[in-house]
Chain A
Amino acid sequence: MVDHFHSKHSLVACHECDELQRLPAERERGRVRCLRCGCVLHHAGRDAIAAPLALGLAALVLFVLSNAFPLLDFGLHGRHDSTYLLAGIRELFNQDMPLLASVVLFTTIIAPLLHISLLIYLYLPLALGRRPPAFAKALRLVQTILPWSMLEIFLLGVLVAGVKLAEQATIVAGPAAWSLGLLVFVLSAAATQVHPQRLWERVA
């Protein structure tokens, strides 16, 4: 068996340099940084549950909008056509590029959707005062999936592609481009709101 310290001791090991240290008792405000390397050890936000839940629900709505509406409108010689987020992935599959299509599918659809669903899965029961089933697994999955959700980079890709074509054709940003822009902000805010250590202190 492993012997462990009770959370009131607040002993933490920095995850970047492994320096063992105690959190100060008055840690209600601001953030606490590692004494050795300056890495953030502890955040004190306003509300650890309501804010991430609200952001998760907002992200879900924006994600649906981003996929349901056209991303860019392409106009040339009086003809118009528009494209959706998923159209590029489908086209890559059609062009016999299953590997490339899968990477794009994973980073722009699966990973962000998993991130959003897990936020709601974790925080909705917590907001109702219950501990969600498989809490540890879900929390670990959020941490693993986070770097693979690349919507902000995809948005930059949309911008570059749009400007590239703007010389020959008329390119207009569709509703999905705007909701995608908002979604990027909401998701990065949500990412800074999840503090596994504080959540564990709460449910343990």
Chain B
Amino acid sequence: MSAASHSLAGNHLACHTCGLVSRHPEVLTARLSCPRCGVELHHRIPRSVSRSWAFLVAAMMLYIPANLLPIMHVTSLGKTRSDTILSGAEYLLVHGMWPLALIVFVASVLVPVVKILILAYLLISVQRRSPGRAMERLRLYRFTEFVGRWSMVDVFVVTVLVALVHLGNVAEIEAGLGAVFFAGVVVLTMFAAQTFDPRLIWDNVRAHAARHTTE
């Protein structure tokens, strides 16, 4: 077994890129760089919480037009129908394709909302310096990092339909503005998850433990 030496953590830095652990210099310089790969060293991702909030709030705002505006317009036999993300899933359900309806609903409606809520909860708990349930919070973070990209599926469906049906010459499919906002939500929540530093969760656990041992 390996020995944990967590008392060292305060004066050591690990490189994000190559993983090399360095000791903090006695005199702090403005910029530290990794002796092995040269990348700038940070104790934590700089301004992680405020940058993550910025991406998240922007994603929340885009989420509204993403669901209200149509993601595509279908013109066939002179008639035009517009589909939003929800009505697209409903169409699949009505036509008996419920496994696909479920995929579209989970990936496009459920996942973005759950992801936004989880990230907001993680950010608030870190800001309140909460030491509780760190392992559960880390699991939530890993979950959002893993599922976030899958929301892009509807954007790709529109891309394929636009190309295929145009070729068929019987109907015309045009991408709607909703698709642009929706792609924006996915990209922004991915940025929000990437700028969130999961180590902040454990910093509060350590700070809490340290307070209790000194008291």
Contacts and interface: CB of A to CB of B under 8 A. Distances in A.
Given A36-B202, A104-B156, A157-B156, A5 B149 contact: no
Contacts, number: 222
A147 B36 contact: no
Interface string B162-182: 111111111000110001100
Contact of B19 (A72, A158, A160, A200): A200
B16 interface: yes
B22 A79 contact: no
| Chain A at the B interface: SS class | mixed
Interface string A183-204: 0000000000000110010001
- Pick the most buried of B3, B20, B163, B190: most chain A CB atoms within 10 A of its CB: B163
Contact of B175 (A20, A21, A81, A97): A97
Contacts of A37: 134-135, 138, 202
Given A97-B175, A161-B161, A2 B135 contact: no
B199 A2 contact: no
A166 to B, nearest CB: 9
Nearest to A16: B198
Given A2-B22, A160-B157, A161-B164, A140 B39 contact: yes
A17 B199 contact: yes
25 contacts: A4-B22, A13-B21, A16-B198, A18-B9, A18-B14, A18-B203, A21-B3, A22-B3, A37-B134, A72-B164, A88-B162, A91-B159, A99-B180, A104-B155, A147-B190, A150-B156, A153-B152, A157-B157, A161-B161, A164-B92, A164-B157, A165-B161, A196-B19, A200-B18, A200-B36
Interface of B: 1-6, 8-9, 12-14, 16-25, 32-39, 41, 92, 95, 97, 100, 103-104, 134-135, 138, 142, 145, 149-150, 152-157, 159-170, 174-175, 179-180, 183, 187, 190, 194, 198-199, 201-203
Interface of A: 1-5, 7, 11-13, 15-24, 32, 35-37, 71-72, 74, 76-77, 79, 81-84, 87-92, 95, 97, 99-100, 103-104, 107-108, 136, 139-140, 143, 147-148, 150, 153-154, 156-158, 160-165, 167, 169, 171, 196-197, 200, 204
